[in-house]
Amino acid sequence: MNDVFLGLDSSTQSLSAVILDFKNKKILLEKNLRYDERLPHYKTHNGIIREKDPKVVHSYPLMWVEALELLFEELKKDDVNLKSIKAISGSGQQHGSVYLNSEAKKTLSRLNINASLVKQLKNIFSRKTSPVWMDSSTNRQCQEIREKAGGKEAVVHRSGSDTFERFTGPQIRKFYQEDPDGYSNTQSIELVSSFMASVLSGGVDSIDYGDGAGMNLMDIRDKKWCPTLLDATAPDLKKRLPCLKPSDTVLGPVSNYFVEKYGLSPDAQVVIWSGDNPNSLIGLGLISRDKAAISLGTSDTYFGFMSDLHTDPRGEGHVFGAPTGDYMTLSCFKNGSLARERIKDKFNLDWDGFSKALSETPPGNNKGIMLPYFEPEIVPLVLKPKVYRFNLRDDAPSANCRAVVEAQMLSMKLHSKWMGKRPEKIYATGGASKNREILKIMADVHQAEVYRLKVSNSASLGAALRAVHAYYKSSGNPISWSDIVAGFTIPLPGSHIKPDPAVAGLYKKMAILYEQYERNYLP
């Protein structure tokens, strides 16, 4: 009997899907639609649009909707049995916000199968573009909210994170300050996750505790909107925000639009969506403390499971709700693939050439060190991009390739100390995790066993597995998380990389030096 679930991932550069058969522990399909290639009329570059001010980074919510429609069209053409899907959940790039006017709810609840989603939804936005996680233009608003809410320590204690430029609260404050009319025409402010779920569910919008924690608006302890933070952010904000709900909430049956147009079952349930990082936690099977994950996507993130809540005293990292009802720790490094690509392109290399450069250079890079901030950086906070080189010529291709990767791994090691015990195993995911030479440096710097998993998109797999969990729980037959992830989160054969103990001392010394450089050179 079919036991089929769909997980979607509306990420920075693409929309992906995983369809799995839970009883048979089988992945039936993986699919990925890149916005730049498939929807070129939005003229995005890597899924985003930039303004004159490089700190402002937005995207089009209508493009995400069009991608959703395109995906269902393709699934239908591919002859996927969409009727067999029992539940759908999803993942949204965290922190991004979608601003809807008073028409939105009504329109979403009455979608007509004779017109496209784009045609019907193009007028529901009170702001045509959405600020996304790469935006770093709200430094002033971060300071204002921090001050009004009682200072950094108080904000970290309440929300699980200090105020961050990309977090939704500071972004909302900026919108309210710069476009008060736009703000007053906004009836609801959604996250990417809650917005995409509401398209599927016909207008039911709720934010889960995982993604809600990335807003600087939710109390991380009682999981409610925090009045102090709301007041510090913008007036009348609470009435514009959806309800906060646990990550296993079933929102209801899928909208009739998808039933009639694409052949989904009218009984297919939409499960609340979450952020890409909480979803990846599940997609990588991180339901206990012994492992950590490094995602090498557009940004690099270092994250892990946490059962007892504690926050980062330096206020650099974050605590989000985990889909299991526990917590997760995360630090986000914006100059991830972006920085690796900049070095690769500077020396006209392809990824094979980049890998070759890593393999020909020695651990420690003959003392060549880089602080690689091609973009403003989140951790450590660097608002003005600048690349620093020490004992490193800027025209040496191989040494620069190694320098950027070693710097990234050392920085992750240093800035994840607050998360507690060092993991023995690291699960690597994201686009760059297919690069074995990068993973080798990861294993050596962290002195941990590194593995890759079978499914390349951990966020959409996590979303599909969350759909399984919520579906069975709501039907009165709950399944434990360890049984949910079993069989899906197994390391890829041959992907295991052992750390070389001979370079442990070298990287320990290098980490001390790297920390000194950060302390002495960063403004």
DSSP code per residue over 390-459: ES--TT-HHHHHHHHHHHHHHHHHHHTGGG-SPPSEEEEESGGGG-HHHHHHHHHHHTSEEEEBSSS-HH
Binds ligand ADP (CB under 6 A): choice among 4, 5, 6, 13: 13
Supply the minimum distance, in Å, between the C-beta of residue 150 and ligand XUL.
23
Q: Which is nearer to ligand ADP, 156 or 405 (CB)?
A: 405
Enumerate the β-bridge partners of residue 29: 19
Backbone phi and psi for residue 49, each to the nearest 5 degrees, phi listed first = -120, 140
Instruction: Establish if 12 lies at the interface with ligand ADP (CB under 6 A).
Output: yes
Q: Which is nearer to ligand ADP, 11 or 324 (CB)?
A: 11
58 with 135: CB under 8 angstroms? yes
Q: Which stretch binds ligand ADP (CB under 6 A): 194-202, 231-239, 424-432, 514-522?
A: 424-432
Please tell me the distance from the alpha carbon of residue 396 to that of residue 27, in angstroms, as a whole number: 43
Using CB positions, name the residue nearest to ligand ADP.
431
Q: Which is nearer to ligand ADP, 107 or 301 (CB)?
A: 301
Instruction: Establish if 385 lies at the interface with ligand ADP (CB under 6 A).
Output: no
Q: Which stretch binds ligand ADP (CB under 6 A): 49-57, 84-92, 258-266, 337-345?
A: 337-345
157 with 315: CB under 8 angstroms? no
Unique residue bearing structure tokens 């434990």: 480
214 with 318: CB under 8 angstroms? yes
Eight-state DSSP code of residue 323: T
Type of residue numbered 420: G
Supply the minimum distance, in Å, between the C-beta of residue 212 and ligand ADP.
21
Q: Which does 431 bind (CB under 5 to 8 A by kind): ligand XUL, ligand ADP, none?
A: ligand ADP
| Chain centroid, CA 410 distance in Å | 21
Three-state SS sequence of 210-276:
HHHCCCCCECCCCCCECHHHHHHHCCCCHHHCCEEECCCCEEEECCHHHHHHHCCCCCCEEECCEEH
Q: Which does 166 bind (CB under 5 to 8 A by kind): ligand XUL, ligand ADP, none?
A: ligand XUL
Binds ligand ADP (CB under 6 A): choice among 150, 363, 431, 487: 431
Supply the minimum distance, in Å, between the C-beta of residue 235 and ligand ADP.
34
Name which of 183, 175, 168 is nearest 218 in CA terms.
Answer: 168
CA distances from 176 to 100, 173, 225, 436 (A): 14, 5, 18, 46
Three-state SS sequence of 112-123:
CCCCCHHHHHCC
Q: Which does 337 bind (CB under 5 to 8 A by kind): ligand ADP, ligand XUL, none?
A: ligand ADP
Name which of 424, 447, 449, 428 is nearest 438 in CA terms.
Answer: 428
Residue 275 makes CB contacts below 8 A (sequence gap 6+) with: 91, 92, 93, 94, 95, 191, 193, 210, 211, 214, 320
Binds ligand ADP (CB under 6 A): choice among 137, 337, 361, 460: 337
Q: Which does 341 bind (CB under 5 to 8 A by kind): ligand XUL, ligand ADP, none?
A: ligand ADP
Instruction: Establish if 342 lies at the interface with ligand ADP (CB under 6 A).
Output: no
Q: Which tokens go with 166?
A: 């990309």
Supply the minimum distance, in Å, between the C-beta of residue 96 and ligand XUL.
8
DSSP code per residue over 68-84: HHHHHHHHHHTT--GGG
Instruction: Establish if 83 lies at the interface with ligand ADP (CB under 6 A).
Output: no
Residues that bind ligand XUL (CB under 6 A): 11-12, 93-95, 133, 166, 214, 275-277, 299, 301, 330, 332
Instruction: Establish if 44 lies at the interface with ligand ADP (CB under 6 A).
Output: no
Eight-state DSSP code of residue 195: H
Q: Which stretch binds ligand ADP (CB under 6 A): 12-20, 52-60, 170-178, 368-376?
A: 12-20
Supply the minimum distance, in Å, between the C-beta of residue 77 and ligand XUL.
28
Question: In the window 293-312, what residues touch ligand ADP (CB under 6 A)?
Answer: 297-298
Q: Which is nearer to ligand ADP, 327 or 354 (CB)?
A: 354
Q: Which is nearer to ligand ADP, 35 or 471 (CB)?
A: 35
Supply the minimum distance, in Å, between the C-beta of residue 332 and ligand XUL.
4
Instruction: Establish if 34 lies at the interface with ligand ADP (CB under 6 A).
Output: no
Tell me whether the omega of the peptide bond preceding residue 380 falls within 30 degrees of 0, making it cis. Answer: yes
Q: Which does 277 bind (CB under 5 to 8 A by kind): ligand XUL, ligand ADP, none?
A: ligand XUL
Enumerate the β-bridge partners of residue 34: 14
Residue 77 makes CB contacts below 8 A (sequence gap 6+) with: none
Q: Which is nearer to ligand ADP, 163 or 337 (CB)?
A: 337
Residue 81 makes CB contacts below 8 A (sequence gap 6+) with: 2, 4
Q: Which is nearer to ligand XUL, 11 or 456 (CB)?
A: 11
Supply the minimum distance, in Å, between the C-beta of residue 337 and ligand XUL.
11
Binds ligand ADP (CB under 6 A): choice among 432, 448, 497, 510: 432
Supply the minimum distance, in Å, between the C-beta of residue 164 and ligand XUL.
8
Instruction: Establish if 390 lies at the interface with ligand ADP (CB under 6 A).
Output: no
Which positions lie near ligand ADP, rule CB under 6 A?
A: 11-14, 297-298, 337, 340-341, 351, 430-432, 434-435
